[in-house]
Homo-oligomer: A and B are copies of this chain.
């Protein structure tokens, strides 16, 4: 699950119409080199600093949003103020561990959503988010 496939951050950014600055390339490579990831801005920021890629938190936020707009990331709402960004943009669902606050993909095909409900007049479904919350065994 963590075959560090090699990623050309520069190309990825250019393709998305973003200027491949040092910071953006670094962040893109951190994000996309390992398999699918679910990070918060703060986590990514710390990770970048640990890897000697000095970036400011503001830039991390900017970059995450730019990548999201470019369709390379997906935002996942869990709760509280924390926003998670998921490198897997395909249709899939998540496990959320309430114990350590981590997010994980649910292998696709494992959950089937039957019939979707009919949306109200004049609206259409943009996305269906499914979050399966986990707790330790036996915790009420």
Chain A residues within 8 Å of B, Cβ to Cβ:
75, 77-81, 83, 95, 97-99, 104, 106-107, 110-120, 122-139
Complex Cα distance, B120 from A139, in Å, reads 15
Contact B106–A123 (Cβ < 8 Å): no
Majority DSSP secondary structure for residues of A touching B: strand
Which of B110, B126, B136 is A133 in contact with, Cβ under 8 Å? B126
Q: Which B residues lie within 8 Å of A137 (CB)?
A: 122-124
Contact B120–A110 (Cβ < 8 Å): no
Which of B80, B117, B127, B133 is A128 in contact with, Cβ under 8 Å? B133
Contact B133–A129 (Cβ < 8 Å): yes
Complex Cα distance, B62 from A41, in Å, reads 29
